[in-house]
Structure 1
């Protein structure tokens, strides 16, 4: 098998393709031949050492492929089945061994690229819109990075839920993508102060919820966008982690709520995993959700994929293709 397994944290240049022995699945595990692997910001955090990993680093959490072998005791899937996952360390590879409990079936009509692109970002958008702050008709929401992988799906889900959707993006080209995904209004933050423009758009009353994957650069201004008792959902930190702050800041802005959710806690049980994954994958199958795959790279070009994602040079999903 071939895999990306850096031996120490560093920049994108450490992502080198290696040939390794193909592992055999142990009890409760499955060997999958990977057809597509998703590239996500958490992979950058792992690569850089911001989120420590064992070494050599099994980079990549998300992918889709075909089951080639099953270990003893596996009942969830069988050889030849098409599966996808969002918690399979080592997915930057041609093969990976994953606990069978982490796999979900891929429905007919959804190809491997779509399935790989949908899992982590799709289930993230799903829990944000339907559980963390369950959007309802009349809610006002602000979505940062609205033309990113999560952002485009979140715009669609928020619009379908009946919310008024405001997105922030860096360029006019990305603004068009966000509008196509369902945003009622889009703020190009390189041209306007997003906090001032958000308040103008909602008549100064604030939004119900801000979905913020940016972190340090947007945190305090995101708080200023919220209505009384609104919620800041800080689900990422592409600009860096938020520094220490006095919780009185939440009181000063109107008794606000702040949460820092992770997909792992929203898919902690197999029931939750299957429910969220099915909601997303069946939505794609039925044409209710549209995925944008921004660019694909051969597995050997993982460094270029990380550079593109880290530089915010893409919109939509980035995939690595082992073949």
Structure 2
């Protein structure tokens, strides 16, 4: 199967390459195999490729495939999976290796994509609500139960911060 992979930390444009990789195993009981049709690129994905700032750059014996989320069509369903079926459009998160043609995922990390939702939107539909929840919690923490204006700041890999304005 084709995948975007890297075998050392570094700038994405220098270390990522399209390569042939072994297809993932499975699906085992409680898993599904998904043919990936769309996958986003997030700053967190790139941070994994680049390595942490200040940490030594590593080389890996086996290439790594980035990405944790995406959408596709179920090819096969493992034993015990009742809510999902082959041919169904689904989104998944967090499932390592999303920047490949195939992923094998635990069925509880896969959800059906509603009719009318495009592939690109579906590829993001699981992580964005988590981001919103994190933002809401940061706002609640910053307000300490008091009403008032709030300024929200955020940046790549900086997390979400909310500052209360008095």
2:109 to 96, 102, 109: 102
Contact 1:38-1:116 within 8 A present in 2 as well: yes
Distance change in 2, residues 1:139/1:28 (3 Å): farther
Tell me, which stretches of 5 or more residues in structure 2 are unaligned? none
| Cα displacement (A) at 1:62 | 1.1
Mapping 1:57-68, distance limit 5 Å:
57-68=64-75
Tell me, which stretches of 5 or more residues in structure 1 are unaligned? 146-211, 229-323
| Cα displacement (A) at 1:227 | 4.4
More strand, by proportion:
2
More helix, by proportion:
1
For residues 231-272 of structure 1, give each alpha carbon's deviation from its aligned partner in whole angstroms, at most 9, with x where no partner exists: xxxxxxxxxxxxxxxxxxxxxxxxxxxxxxxxxxxxxxxxxx
For residues 82-135 of structure 1, give each alpha carbon's deviation from its aligned partner in whole angstroms, at most 9, with x where no partner exists: 111220100001111111111112111111111113332343124422x45459
Contact 2:4-2:18 within 8 A present in 1 as well: yes
- TM-score norm. by structure 2 comes to 0.77
- Would you identify which runs of 4 or more consecutive aligned residues in structure 1 move more than 4 Å? none
Matched, 1:116 2:101: no
Greater RCO between the two (CA within 8 Å, min separation 6)?
2
For residues 121-168 of structure 1, give each alpha carbon's deviation from its aligned partner in whole angstroms, at most 9, with x where no partner exists: 343124422x454599x65232335xxxxxxxxxxxxxxxxxxxxxxx
Contact 1:29-1:74 within 8 A present in 2 as well: yes
Matched, 1:87 2:99: no
| Cα displacement (A) at 1:214 | 5.7
Distance 1:100 1:41 in 2: 26
Distance 1:41 1:14 in 2: 16
Tell me the matched-pair count: 154
Contact 1:58-1:91 within 8 A present in 2 as well: yes
Contact 2:44-2:157 within 8 A present in 1 as well: no
Mapping 1:253-272, distance limit 5 Å:
none
Distance 1:113 1:213 in 2: 21
Distance 1:98 1:14 in 2: 26
Contact 2:43-2:156 within 8 A present in 1 as well: no
Mapping 1:283-298, distance limit 5 Å:
none
Distance change in 2, residues 1:37/1:139 (3 Å): farther
Which SS does the other structure have where 1:101 is aligned? helix
Matched, 1:74 2:81: yes
Q: Which residue matches 2:10? A: 10
- TM-score norm. by structure 1 comes to 0.42
2:149 to 137, 140, 143: 140
Distance 1:132 1:30 in 2: 35
